[in-house]
Structure 1
């Protein structure tokens, strides 16, 4: 018998960061497939509008607001979901933030915020979800990484580091989770046209830029297929996998050229000497 793979007949989906971007599009994709999808996002995010959009879909979407940095809150949220919507058989930890980091103006605050959401925010939900799945004897977990996990890109010193940690964490956990019939996957999407990406002034130069709906469809297919890593689009993923094996001087030149970073002024276009961050 193979490793467990989520099925809407077995229980519900829990997705964090489901109110915008890939998470929002993936939530609707899952609801179309008949899943009951419990969406966690911060208070004030547009969950209610997303719920209304699911009225004619095969499944349903339920709102469970919480901040992923609230460890106790996420544990209580998961308990509420399972009490009201049934067992969570598929947990997708998608919530994330992107804070540009300039090497000439480093900030502890920017790194802390990124790691609190992108890494610790995943752990805060992963631990209680895994415990409950282990008690039931099956489960399916998806962690959202990024192609920026494979090597460094301009402005991604914090974001890329957090996604690299997600990848290594998933790789390390797979050995033991396989033994208790919990499938774990890591999704490493390419460049997706979301509000987070718009913070990068290089967004218009990025290759193979996708819309969230396209990214969600590819993620959904990857979840259905199983396997460990979901990396897309393939032409970009394979090219960057190859680039990760290049000598570093060559790769640095390639990325600087690809992003147009060589011609960009310091501090993302701000004039004058960059101000030191007080954090």
Structure 2
């Protein structure tokens, strides 16, 4: 019975009550991060919002203030690719709050590129933002959360990391590596009381996906994405992927032989 109970137990401690919970969202100035901030503010979370642009963050913070019943959201601009920026904000939040309950690493970049359009600059810009920045952030967070013996890290990946896709020549690999990183983190941190969530959105209408010039199936709004994420936290799921009618198809495609996968992807995308 003990083994069965272990199998049925969720991988992470479910997060259901948000009132007073200390949440830091990195990449909160637009899209999914901004929508998640507004959603959690309405549920009573204490929020710190980070991204590169102060003006956009202040607008999101004002929106959160209109929904919050408690202290206003903190605005803490930073560049995730600068480890020293992240560490400085971490220290300020710990001094103010005394700890962290959830850090959402949502900052990312996307540039549609075909193989013949690759440049060293484009490669490094994407990998530094989507992979190295989050890894540096975890390096700054893990000792604190392990010392607390509780808390959670959520890494925002993408279903583009499930398999090779046209125009995701750098973006896809960066998100695939992030998923591997999240799995490894869970193995290390869960036994120490720290939850690790991997968020894998499908297509969401954000400033990044606005660059796409192709049909995006099952396109969701940022508000819908935020609700799906909150529901995933409540389940204690390791991977929170949505919309499931789309993501389940992509998950199944991973099991196809490559002689079937390649022509199917070309046919579906038209690329």
Q: TM-score, normalised by structure 1?
A: 0.88
2:101 maps to which residue?
89
| Residue 14 of structure 1: how far off its partner (Å) | 0.8
Contact residue 5 and residue 140 of structure 1 kept, 8 A:
no
Unaligned runs of 5+ in 1: 262-279
1:31 maps to which residue?
41
1:221 maps to which residue?
231
| Residue 86 of structure 1: how far off its partner (Å) | 4.0
Counterpart of 1:48 (choices 22, 47, 58) is: 58
Aligned-partner SS, 1:88: coil
Contact residue 192 and residue 215 of structure 1 kept, 8 A:
yes
Counterpart of 1:136 (choices 119, 135, 148) is: 148
Contact residue 20 and residue 46 of structure 2 kept, 8 A:
no
Could you tell me how far apart the structure 1 residues matched to 2:227 and 2:164 are? 27
Change (3 A) 1:37 1:44: closer
Unaligned runs of 5+ in 2: 1-8
Change (3 A) 1:211 1:8: closer
1:111 maps to which residue?
123
Counterpart of 1:186 (choices 180, 188, 198) is: 198
Contact residue 4 and residue 138 of structure 1 kept, 8 A:
no
Deviates more, 1:10-19 or 1:185-194: 10-19
2:209 maps to which residue?
197
1:266 maps to which residue?
none
Counterpart of 2:77 (choices 65, 72, 76) is: 65
What do residues 142-174 of structure 1 show as CA deviations (whole Å, max 9, x unaligned)?
100100011011111111111001100111121
Is 2:158 the counterpart of 1:146?
A: yes
Counterpart of 1:168 (choices 180, 183, 194) is: 180
Aligned-partner SS, 1:104: helix
1:251 maps to which residue?
261
Change (3 A) 1:245 1:206: same
What do residues 59-115 of structure 1 show as CA deviations (whole Å, max 9, x unaligned)?
542110000011011011011112224421101100000022221222111110001
Could you tell me how far apart the structure 2 residues matched to 1:62 and 1:130 are? 22
Contact residue 147 and residue 237 of structure 1 kept, 8 A:
yes
1:271 maps to which residue?
none
| Residue 134 of structure 1: how far off its partner (Å) | 0.7
2:5 maps to which residue?
none
| Residue 5 of structure 1: how far off its partner (Å) | 4.1
Change (3 A) 1:196 1:45: farther
Could you tell me how far apart the structure 1 residues matched to 2:23 and 2:80 are? 16
What do residues 159-210 of structure 1 show as CA deviations (whole Å, max 9, x unaligned)?
11110011001111211111100010101110011110111211xx121011
Counterpart of 1:20 (choices 30, 40, 44) is: 30
